[in-house]
Amino acid sequence: MDIYAEIGVTPIINAAGTITTLGGSLMLPEVIEAMNSASRAFVDMHELHLAAGRRIAALIGVEAAHVCSCAAAGIAVMAAACMAGTDPEKISRLPDTTGMNKRFLVQRAHRNPFDQALRLAGGEFVEIGADIAELQRALGPDVAGVFYTHAWFCTGDALPLAQVAEVAHQAGVPVIVDAAAEVPPVANLRRFLDEGADLVTFSGGKAMRGPQSSGLILGRKDLIEACRLNDAPNMAIGRPMKASKEDIAGLVKAVEIYVSHDHDADQALWEQRVALIIAALSDIPHVRVWRQMPRGVGQQIPHAAVTWDQQALGITPEQAVRDLRQGQPPIAVQLYSPEIYTWSGVTLPELRVHPHTLQEGEAELVARRLHDVLTGVQR
């Protein structure tokens, strides 16, 4: 049975990456089987969360872990843990933060639309520059934590995490990190904690290929326990963001596979697909196409970037994206433009073709269709 055909939804060839609006990633068969297995019985969710946390922490080699419903939920739960701790009365009151430390210091370069999740829990941001002295001055008695973002779209100047953590810890303030898409490399699952973070959240539904509605929080045992108590199934801020028993089982299996996976083989395959796309577009006059890696230390997956002389070709990037999406089959690519990524400092638009969400044979199809769109060929 094709469920999408049954309800009238058209599947898309995804060359835009593991983005939420396209459903994240495709789960591995073993993950699906783990979820199916979990669906066949009832279980005490408190017991399941504790067991899953222990298993994931052991697999990654960190002090403690908690499964949440996604990295954005992870941000909200981490913030709640810093503000309410394990106090039942405070936990039940969030997002009402009366009498709690609720301010989170954040470098201006790290502000982005995803940090809204921290405010959902009742936290408030205090922006600072990339300046140690300013950070030290801002670490007052009402500060609940320091918020740090690792992402390719944070392009401004920022203090290194290790330096921020050292200063924050001198003031007795925890550091929480949003690292939603920061694997590969797999070493990043531990890196940010090794650099001093107290809590860090990752998406389970991106490169790890777990359920889209899953995420990880890793970190200090006491703060992970606070995260658990501020999350579902407890009557807490995380209650509407519950991870199901199937999600939890699926993510455990996804982590188990990911930490032992042959990542070099993946990189080789992705490089082949990027090279194919570059070769297919290199003969078009007025077009520039090149291999690109995301900025920063995570999501280190190569992709093909494409720009062109819009006047010479008679097509804008927006039109190219629309033509690809309206064709058969529909193809999605990433449009990196000032209008979309307003916070990232981008000045010129470019298309990005990502290889890791493509299936066998789809790279050739994407390359051919993009070539047709840029050269005005109608098929």
**Any idea which residue has 């995380």 for tokens?**
238
Same domain, residue pair 346 and 313: yes
Within-domain flag for 14: no
Q: Assess whether 131 and 268 both reside in one domain.
A: no
Q: How far is CA 159 from CA 30, 109, 113, in A?
A: 40, 10, 20
Q: What domain range includes position 123?
A: 27-259
Check pLDDT > 60 for residue 378.
no
Give the pLDDT confidence of 146-162 residue by residue, as tens digits. Answer: 999 999 999 999 999 99
Answer yes or no: is pLDDT of 362 > 90: yes
pLDDT reported for residue 338:
80
- Answer whether residue 21 is part of any domain: no
Alpha-carbon distance of 165 to 233, in angstroms, equals: 31
Residue 67 pLDDT > 50: yes
Question: Per the structure, how many domains does the chain have?
Answer: 2
155 φ/ψ angles, rounded to the nearest 5 degrees: -100, -5
Tell me the residue type at 199: L
How does residue 1 score in pLDDT terms, banded at 50, 70 and 90?
Answer: low
Are 185 and 276 part of one and the same domain?
Answer: no
Are 156 and 294 part of one and the same domain?
no
| Residues 155 and 32 occupy one common structural domain | yes
Residues 189 and 325 in one domain: no
Last residue of a domain, one of 259, 278, 303: 259
Side by side, which strands form the sheet with 287-292? 13-15, 331-336, 350-353, 303-308, 287-292
Rounded distance between C-alpha atoms, residue 261 and residue 242, angstroms: 28
As a whole number of angstroms, the distance between CA 254 and CA 188 comes to 16
Task: Give yes or no: residues 240 and 362 share one domain.
Answer: no
Point out the domain boundary residue: 227, 259, 291.
Answer: 259
Q: Which of 319, 207, 188, 323 is nearest to 270 (CA)?
A: 207
268 and 195 in a common domain: no
In whole angstroms, give the CA distance from residue 238 to residue 210.
20
The reported pTM is 0.96
**Of 244, 259, 274, which marks where a domain is finished?**
259
pLDDT tens column, 281-312: 999 999 999 999 999 999 999 999 999 999 99
Give the tens place of pLDDT for each residue, 196-234.
999 999 999 999 999 999 999 999 999 999 999 999 999
Q: What pLDDT band is residue 74 in, cutting at 50, 70 and 90?
A: very high
Tell me the CATH number at 62: 3.40.640.10
* In a shared domain, residues 273 and 323: yes
Residue 249 scores a pLDDT above 50: yes
| Confidence bin at 379 (pLDDT 50/70/90) | very low
Q: Tell whether 244 and 267 lie within a shared domain.
A: no
- 33 and 146 part of one domain: yes
The model's pLDDT over 107-142, given as tens digits with 9 standing for 90+, comes to 999 999 999 999 999 999 999 999 999 999 999 999
- Which residues fall within 8 angstroms of residue 149, CB to CB, at 6 or more apart? 106, 110, 112, 114, 115, 177, 178
Q: What is the pLDDT of residue 348?
A: 79
Which residue is associated with the tokens 């801002």? 138
The answer to whether 278 touches 291, Cβ cutoff 8 Å, is yes
CA distance 4 to 10: 6
